[in-house]
Amino acid sequence: MEVKVGPSTLELVEGDITRQDTVAIVNAANKHLRPGGGVDGAIHRAGGPAIEAACRQLGGCPMGEARITTGGNLKARYVIHTVGPVYRDGCHREPELLASCYRESLKLASANGIKSLAFPSISTGVYGYPMEDAARVALKTVTDYLAHHPEIERVRLVLFGRAAYEVYGKALQEL
């Protein structure tokens, strides 16, 4: 499923983020930027030791911010690492911090001339963010950014599993 946002394209796909052919992929990282589980572990495994070496030099990343490294052995040239919030009850700045993850990642893409990037569903795995709420935050943040930044030609949300794809598809139609 895809929609146009100005001259840019926002795309939803079900798949594996480590196999995307975009210029950059976004990693749902931990604050230490060390290999972890889920999306983070998959990206580090597929990208090889160059990503971990680059992350060590960065010294971590605060929640809601983003950092950029090489893509190592991935098809993507870059990995943008962002640290999403652990969901508690939605009343501890979680929506604001999650939106910041997407916005700061997009800002890094713009600053580095990256015209295409792929995001996972940030914070919806072990960090426990409810998928429906996360989808609304992600899609609104991305569409708002693209409306003012035509330099990014394509943003792909890569969703793991049919259920996640359907939740994001419904949220996109409602937007």
Residues tagged active-site? 40
Contact between residue 68 and residue 29 where contact means Cβ atoms under 8 Å apart: no
Close Cβ partners of 175 (under 8 Å, ≥ 6 residues apart): 136, 139, 140, 143
Q: How many helices (H) and strands (E) does the chain have?
A: 5, 7
C-alpha 83, offset from chain centre: 10
Q: Which two tokens stand for residue 68?
A: 């950029």
